Amino acid sequence: MKTLNHYVHYFYLFLSFVGGALTFYFMVLGTQVNNGNFNVIQFIQSTWVDNYYAKSLTFDFWTGAIAGTLFVIVEGVRLKIKLFWLFPLVIVFIGFAFGFPLFLFFRHKNIIAQNKL
């Protein structure tokens, strides 16, 4: 009989889609506000210098993203996940909210396949 652990990876996949969609949506909105141009300086300033709340969220995000990316690398090597090195690239070039849950999806499927869960 399959337990809840055999279906958790679908929740990770759902989070990946939500994270990727929302990241993309708000990036598009930000680009539209700037007449179709992505303003790197404005993006950086909005996360670092607007106020202390923004700085708090920025440091929280970066701390989690660095720890999560390190986890992706260590777990990818430990579990011998094929093409695990693609996940840090996805995290950097698309977004942590998309790449990390996507990695968790594939990690969980890998663990189930290896009967380690």
More confident residue, 4 or 106: 106
When pLDDT is cut at 50, 70 and 90, the band that residue 117 belongs to is low
pLDDT of residue 32: 85
In the predicted structure, residue 16 carries a pLDDT above the cut 80: yes
Radius of gyration over every alpha carbon of the chain, rounded to an integer in angstroms: 17
When pLDDT is cut at 50, 70 and 90, the band that residue 50 belongs to is low
- What is the identity of the amino acid at 89? L
Q: In the predicted model, what is the mean pLDDT of residues 80-109?
A: 94
The range of the structural domain enclosing residue 60 comes to 4-113
pLDDT of residue 66: 94
- Number of structural domains the chain divides into: 1
Cα–Cα dist 73/67, whole Å: 10
Cα–Cα dist 39/60, whole Å: 23
| Cα dihedral across residues 19, 22, 26, 28: positive or negative | positive
